[in-house]
């Protein structure tokens, strides 16, 4: 649903690729994901479908930023949880090893990761530090001969229950410098517990991870990740990705609402014929078009290599705010059926809550924009 024709900016071959992904996720993912979402279960067979179409490595695909963004939006349009799996895997795990890893780390992990034959986790947030994690990391790395000893706790870590390794952000005990360490999940002292009963992104398995003096070889440190600025560079790009997820959520909202309003009859007429229903549809379409245009400008900035944190923060906060507003309109438009996941709208409604909070909360991203506008930091 692209009223302004943003996807028409793609070259013919890229447009084909987008249509291939749309067909795949609409046919093989959208309806199939509902049961997994209800059961809070990871859908290995659905992920295998995504792997078959190269979506484990979309981060390294030779393509425009616009195509990559639209692909992420199409996946979110079908299922937001799975788009989080694909997005975090690509932006924060594949991307991080590709950008900051050693030659040996890249050779060992990238082929398996991009085929979805291995999973990693990006582990920054801690139980006591979320929004203030930049200055708040408590996890530590202590050098002991040819090894590092990693201790601490991480919270909310996506794919953390089953990933082959986690990229743990920790402070060097000697220098106090922040760094990233690849910690395999089968090492003694590593444990991960699933966070149960989430209201959204129920397919994404989030974990509390504890690290009790876990020993890793010195070679497991990522040579390129040497301070919080490295994490921030990645987070800037992944915030923009959440903007695309929000676009996908609004596409899903419009799809679901148009279909429902076209079929459901009250007072002897289809809902679609009522003026107030058409107003809701117009508002959702307006929110979607606004964000799609904004995200295409963000993609252009990424293409030029001049995306700034304020751009990513504005895109993330604005798109998730409008996705949340659209999902509320959509949920109401479906009446009682809007609260049942079988009708899909309730699933979008709940998933959008997480987009609003993760990758820097709505409030913190707004404060980043506020700081750029006023020159005054309201949060540090």
For ligand FAD, the binding residues (CB under 6 A) are 88, 122-125, 130-131, 156-158, 201, 206, 354, 357-361, 363-364, 379
228 or 274: whose CB is closer to ligand FAD? 228
3 or 379: whose CB is closer to ligand FAD? 379
How far apart are alpha carbons 356 and 236 in whole angstroms?
A: 16
Say which DSSP state 180 is in: E
43 or 360: whose CB is closer to ligand FAD? 360
163 or 326: whose CB is closer to ligand FAD? 163
Other CB atoms closer than 10 Å to residue 379's CB: what's the count? 12
210 or 280: whose CB is closer to ligand FAD? 210
Distance of CA 12 to the CA centre of its chain: 27
C-alpha closest to that of 119 among 127, 109, 129, 128: 109
342 or 379: whose CB is closer to ligand FAD? 379
Shortest Å distance, C-beta 378 to ligand FAD: 7
233 or 271: whose CB is closer to ligand FAD? 233
Shortest Å distance, C-beta 200 to ligand FAD: 7
Shortest Å distance, C-beta 185 to ligand FAD: 14
97 or 201: whose CB is closer to ligand FAD? 201
Shortest Å distance, C-beta 193 to ligand FAD: 15
User: Where does residue 273 rank: exposed (0-12), middle (13-18), buried (19+ CB within 10 A)?
Assistant: middle
Shortest Å distance, C-beta 344 to ligand FAD: 19
Buried b or exposed e, range 144-172, using 16+ CB within 10 angstroms = eeeebbbbbebbbbbbbbebbbbbbbbbb
CB–CB of 314/349 below 8 Å? no
Shortest Å distance, C-beta 222 to ligand FAD: 15
Residue of minimal Cβ distance to ligand FAD: 130
Shortest Å distance, C-beta 188 to ligand FAD: 23
Q: Which two tokens stand for residue 49?
A: 């479908």
69 or 120: whose CB is closer to ligand FAD? 120
Q: Which two tokens stand for residue 122?
A: 């990006």
Shortest Å distance, C-beta 213 to ligand FAD: 21
Shortest Å distance, C-beta 47 to ligand FAD: 16
Shortest Å distance, C-beta 11 to ligand FAD: 33
167 or 250: whose CB is closer to ligand FAD? 167
3-state secondary structure of 152: strand
How far apart are alpha carbons 120 and 89 in whole angstroms?
A: 7
Q: What are the phi and psi torsion angles at 31 (to 5°)?
A: -70, -35
Other CB atoms closer than 10 Å to residue 331's CB: what's the count? 22
Say which DSSP state 221 is in: B
How far apart are alpha carbons 205 and 339 in whole angstroms?
A: 23
Q: How many CA atoms lie within 13 A of 246 on its CB side?
A: 37
Say which DSSP state 364 is in: H
Q: Which two tokens stand for residue 257?
A: 């609402």
Kindly compute the dihedral angle of the four CA atoms of residues 327, 329, 332, 337, in this order, to the nearest 10 degrees: -40
Answer positive or negative: Cα dihedral of 96, 98, 104, 107.
positive
- Give me the helix-helix angle, 80-87 and 228-263, nearest 10°: 160
């Amino acid at each position: 649903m692209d009223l302004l024709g943003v996807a028409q900016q793609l070259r013919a071959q890229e447009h084909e690729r987008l249509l291939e992904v749309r067909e795949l996720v609409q046919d093989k993912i959208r309806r199939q994901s509902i049961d997994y979402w209800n059961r809070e279960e990871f859908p290995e067979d659905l992920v295998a479908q995504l792997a078959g179409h190269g979506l484990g490595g979309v981060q390294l695909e030779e393509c425009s930023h616009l195509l990559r963004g639209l692909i992420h939006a199409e996946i979110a349009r079908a299922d937001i949880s799975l788009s989080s799996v694909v997005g975090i895997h690509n932006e924060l795990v594949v991307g991080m090893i590709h950008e900051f890893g050693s030659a040996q780390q890249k050779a060992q992990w990238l082929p398996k990761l991009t085929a979805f034959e291995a999973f990693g986790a990006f582990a920054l947030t801690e139980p006591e530090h979320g929004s203030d994690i930049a200055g708040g990391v408590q996890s530590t790395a202590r050098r002991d001969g040819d090894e590092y000893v990693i201790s601490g706790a991480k919270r909310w870590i996506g794919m953390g229950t089953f990933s082959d390794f986690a990229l743990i952000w920790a402070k060097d005990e000697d220098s106090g410098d922040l760094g990233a360490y690849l910690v395999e999940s089968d090492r003694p002292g590593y444990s991960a517990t699933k966070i149960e009963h989430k209201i959204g992104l129920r397919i994404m398995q989030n974990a509390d991870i504890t690290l009790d003096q876990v020993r890793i070889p010195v070679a497991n440190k990522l040579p390129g990740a040497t301070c919080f600025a490295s994490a921030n560079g990645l987070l800037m790009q992944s915030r923009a990705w959440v903007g695309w997820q929000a676009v996908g959520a609004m596409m899903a909202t419009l799809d679901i609402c148009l279909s429902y309003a076209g079929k459901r009859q009250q007072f002897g007429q289809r809902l679609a014929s009522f003026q107030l229903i058409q107003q809701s549809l117009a508002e959702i379409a307006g929110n979607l078009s606004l964000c799609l245009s904004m995200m295409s400008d963000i993609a252009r900035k990424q293409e030029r290599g001049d995306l700034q944190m304020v751009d990513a923060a504005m895109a993330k906060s604005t798109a998730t705010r409008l996705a949340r507003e659209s999902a509320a309109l959509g949920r109401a438009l479906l009446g009682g059926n809007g609260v049942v996941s079988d009708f899909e709208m309730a699933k979008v409604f709940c998933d959008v809550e997480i987009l609003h909070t993760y990758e820097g909360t709505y409030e913190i991203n707004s404060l980043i924009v506020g700081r750029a506008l006023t020159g005054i930091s309201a949060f540090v």
